Homo-oligomer: A and B are copies of this chain.
Amino acid sequence: MSFDRLIAKIIETGNPTVAGLDPKLDYVPEFIKKKSFEEKGADLKGAAHAILKFNKAIIDEICDIVPAIKPQAAYYEMYGYHGVKTLYKTIEYAKSKGMFVIVDGKRNDIGATMEAYTNAYLGSAAVDGKQFEGFGADALTVNGYLGTDGIAPLTKVCAENDKGIFVLVKTSNKSSGELQDKLLAEGGTIYNAMGGMCEKWGEDTIGKYGYSAVGAVVGATYPEQLAEMRAKLPHTFFLVPGYGAQGGGAEGVAKAFDENGLGAIVNSSRAIMCAYQKEGCDEQDFAKAARRECLRMKDDITAFVPALKK
């Protein structure tokens, strides 16, 4: 099962965190942008080229200490098809360095259309009798609002190809409660119902660490709900956004883990990509600053997860 591969990488590195690669052009050091614009043009193509160089340098510096990256599709799509090519190249490069790749796309649809998304990110497309991977990621975030019709095509491919998904359950943003916290007539909240569906969708894909291929997104900014979901969803692996920039602290995040220090991976994006700006170091040193921030984050979180600490 897919999350077995991710969990093995987490144990190997002693690091339950994922580096979010959400590269706004503002985050890219000037010297990289200048060179890319000169070589490729000061346009979407040049922007996409600059972002790829930025990503690769960060991946080079962190691939031995961080188990996974999570590129956010929106930041690549913003630069059009050139940006989407950079998403592909980033995934390819991270995999070549042994990292697990979670595409954060929050995709959702039904039937044949959801199969197309599944083929795009976790499977392959048939062309003239041969199969080709569109993006070749290891996992994809998805939105379960459409019910089982939107998830079944994914779980089938997850089982066949050793991949995983994370379903949005309780998101980290301030207004997440507008819909997700509403109480149902049958009892419990909407996010509770969504969490319950994750356990059900995953029941046939439970791996050797006790977690299925159907994970859940549960925000670091709601520690009580994290603890509640951890207790109620024993086979659901969590992707936890909202640590750091959005205000989630390490002590709260610790509630996402089980007694073995497993069961969750915590994301940080901006703090890693912009570490050089925060440090005030030379921008040439951006990738090493990203590494320093990854190590700081690892120490911060594992201090509260003693079972995992190396």
Q: Give residues in A with beta carbon < 8 Å to B.
A: 22, 24-25, 33, 37, 42-44, 46-47, 72, 74-75, 77-81, 83-85, 87-88, 106-114, 116-117, 119-121, 125-128, 130, 132-135, 143-150, 168, 171-180, 182-186, 190, 193-194, 197
Contact = CB atoms under 8 A, between A and B. Distances in A.
A89 to B, nearest CB: 9
B179 A182 contact: no
B80 A132 contact: yes
Contact of A185 (B22, B173, B184, B194): B184
Contacts of A75: 113, 116
Contacts of A72: 109, 113, 116
Given A146-B173, A171-B110, A25 B77 contact: no
A195 to B, nearest CB: 12
Contacts of A168: 108, 145-146
Contacts of A128: 33, 37, 42, 46
Given A80-B120, A145-B179, A148-B175, 19 more contacts: A22-B112, A37-B128, A42-B127, A47-B125, A74-B117, A79-B120, A80-B133, A80-B134, A80-B135, A83-B134, A106-B143, A111-B173, A143-B143, A143-B145, A144-B179, A147-B175, A147-B177, A148-B178, A182-B190
Contact of A74 (B80, B116, B135): B116
A178 B147 contact: yes
Among A46, A85, A120, chain B packs the most CB atoms within 10 A around the CB of A120
Contacts of A193: 179, 182
10 contacts: A25-B126, A43-B130, A44-B125, A47-B132, A72-B113, A74-B107, A75-B116, A77-B117, A146-B175, A182-B190
A200 to B, nearest CB: 10
Nearest to A246: B111
Contacts of A22: 112-113, 116
Contacts of A127: 25, 37, 42-44, 46-47, 79
B182 A44 contact: no
